[in-house]
Amino acid sequence: MLAVSAVLGVLAIALAWPVPVVLARADWPSRAPAAALALWQAIALAGGLSMIGCLLAFGSAPAGSLPAAVAALAPYLLTGPLPAGFGVAEIAALTLAVAIALLLTLNLALTAVRAERERRRQHQLIGLLSHPMPGDPRTRVLAHPVPLAYCVPGIRTATVLTDGLIDVLTADELTAVIAHERTHLDQLHHLVRLSFRAWHSAIPWFPIANRAEHAVITLTEMLADDGARRAVGTGPLRGALERVGDAGESGASLDGTSGADSDAAMLAARLGRLDEPATPPPADPRGVRAAALTASAVLVAVPLVGYAVILGIVP
Amino acid sequence: MASLGELERSVMEVLWTSDVALTANEMRDALALRDDAARMVATTTVLTVLSRLERKGFVSRSRDMRPHRYRALLSREEHTAELMHEVLDRSADRDAALARFVGTASAGEAATLRRLLDELARH
């Protein structure tokens, strides 16, 4: 049990710091964004499972398994004394494991409820304020001068453009923008983003959580760009990005926040990868993709095997 | 037959363009003059739509006298500002559940817009 605890502890630490840092700096994710997105999810999931599993394994080591530890501790939980073999460290580890698990699940639930409420309000407002785009009833147009496009996910979805955007883009560029938003909706990017936002808000002081969320947002934007490229080709997408990108440059100097800086960096990264051909995919991503997907599967499998040991399913 | 959503939108359009609070009958007449799918609806339908809009917080009803009079709680511009505010706020703090295309790029306009919105809020 202590060996399981040690392995999971090492994995948890690796996934909390060095691995995300290396991945955030790597340049292959822009060529294989789907695989990179899978890897980020595997890192977050395996990291959380390992951290909790490490504490559970350590805390239940005296009894040999978690069910046995619960059976041994339950009668004495309120009255004491501690059964033989259990010390303060074990109890602290088990308590911490439960606390972390609760924090993460409650935060996810809270974030999901909040997003759902926001989404309902958005749908109400969109329904009242926008009108369907001529020739494309699934797209709604909002009378506002700020150029903006976004989508509202859910069972009922909406893609919204403003008058301001329609004014500055050509017809092809608009089609690219709409295809981009549709890709977000079709690939359910909001669910990935939601889980990383919840993770970030559960541990806001942890810089890696911020970096991971930013990487995930960038990757989903790139995947949506690929959807737009498949639909209308590279030219219109580049045109749309560049045209609204100009506004972004001036904006960055105007309010000078770090958010605007990282937005400019993201835009540069999205534009940079458009220079590479979309189809057929360059040769090396295929190997990279396979490696990333294998790594994702292994990362999640290790803590799951650990849990099998902790629960006493595997001796 | 117009959908409930379209009817709600038409009713709000009527209320937004009216300077005074309206009764359901007056609204039915105003809808009949409009050139969209919502023309020719019964007063009871208008009342149903109004109570839905009231529940959602878009319409207020004065019960001082009969028939009740209805008016829009906020102007169309204020609601649009609310909507844009939500989307732009999300893009600024990267708190993005909803995907956006420009969001990132419109930081400058976002700053301008926020200033305008703040001025609006102070009135």
CB-based contacts of A59: which residues, under 8 Å, 6+ apart? A69, A90, A91, A92, A93, A94, A97
What per-residue confidence (pLDDT) applies to A296? 96
- The model's confidence at residue B98, banded by pLDDT at 50, 70 and 90, is very low
Which pLDDT score is estimated for A64?
A: 92
Q: What is the pLDDT of residues A100-153, one digit of tens each?
A: 999 999 999 999 999 999 889 889 999 999 999 988 888 999 998 878 888 888
Site of tokens 């040690």: A6
Task: Express as a percent the part of chain A with pLDDT over 70.
Answer: 91
Q: What pLDDT digit, counting tens, does each position of A162-171 carry?
A: 888 898 889 9
Mutation target vs A (from B50, B58, B74, B102; most A CBs, 10 A cutoff):
B102
Answer for the pair B81, A178: CB distance below 8 angstroms, yes or no. no
Tokens of A80: 């004491």
The 3-state DSSP composition of chain A as helix, strand, coil percent (nearest 5) reads: 75, 5, 20
Per-residue pLDDT, averaged over A7-20, amounts to 95
Q: Residues A234, A225: contact at Cβ < 8 Å?
A: no
| Average pLDDT over every residue of A151-178 | 89
The architecture (CATH level 2) of B4-72 comes to: Orthogonal Bundle (1.10)
Question: What is the model's pLDDT at position A84?
Answer: 79
User: What sign does the CA torsion over A80, A81, A85, A89 have?
Assistant: positive
**C-alpha distance from residue A310 to each of A136, A174, B88 (Å):** 55, 54, 46
Average pLDDT along chain A: 87
Mutation target among A37, A148, A190 for the B interface, most CBs of B within 10 A? A148
* Residue B73 to residues A119, A121, B70, B84, Cα–Cα distance (Å): 21, 16, 9, 18
* CB-CB under 8 Å, B113 with A181: no
The 8-class DSSP code of residue A74 comes to G
| C-alpha A11 chain-centroid distance | 20
User: CA-to-CA distance for B38 and B36, rounded, in angstroms?
Assistant: 6
A193-214 pLDDT, tens per residue? 999 999 999 988 888 998 999 8
DSSP state at residue B101: S
Mean pLDDT over B83-98 rounds to 56
Residue B120: per-residue pLDDT? 59
CB < 8 Å to B104, chain A:
248, 263, 266-267
pLDDT tens column, A226-235: 999 999 999 9
* Contact between B110 and B91 (Cβ < 8 Å): yes
- Nearest residue on chain A to B9, alpha-carbon basis: A128
pLDDT at res. A192: 94
Q: Helix, strand, or coil here: A189?
A: helix
Contacts with A265 (C-beta within 8 Å, 6 or more apart), sequence order: none
The pLDDT of residue A247 is above 80:
no
* Placement of tokens 């009817």 in the chain: B7
Q: Over the stretch A137-148, which tens digit does the pLDDT of each residue have?
A: 889 999 988 788
How far is it, in rounded angstroms, from Cα A250 to Cα A248? 5
pLDDT tens per residue across span A49-92? 999 999 999 999 999 999 999 999 988 877 778 887 898 999 99
Give the pLDDT band of residue B99 (cuts 50, 70, 90): very low
Please determine, for residue A179, whether its predicted confidence score (pLDDT) is greater than 70: yes
* CB-based contact, A143 to chain B, within 8 Å: yes
Residue range B46-60: mean pLDDT, rounded = 93
Q: What is the pLDDT of residue B40?
A: 81
Q: Please state the pTM of the whole predicted model.
A: 0.84
Q: Residue A141 and residue A159: Cα distance in Å, rounded?
A: 9
Relative to beta strand A158-162, strand A136-142 is: parallel
What confidence category does residue A18 fall into, taking pLDDT thresholds of 50, 70 and 90? very high
Query: How many A-B residue pairs are in contact by the CB < 8 A criterion?
Result: 144
Provide the β-strand partners of residue B100: A150
Q: What is the pLDDT of residue A196?
A: 93
Which residues of chain B form CATH 1.10.10.10?
A: 4-72
Q: Reply yes or no on whether the pLDDT at A262 is more than 90.
A: no
In whole angstroms, how far apart are CA A117 and each of A109, A111, A124, B38?
Answer: 12, 10, 11, 29
Over residues A4-33, mean pLDDT: 94
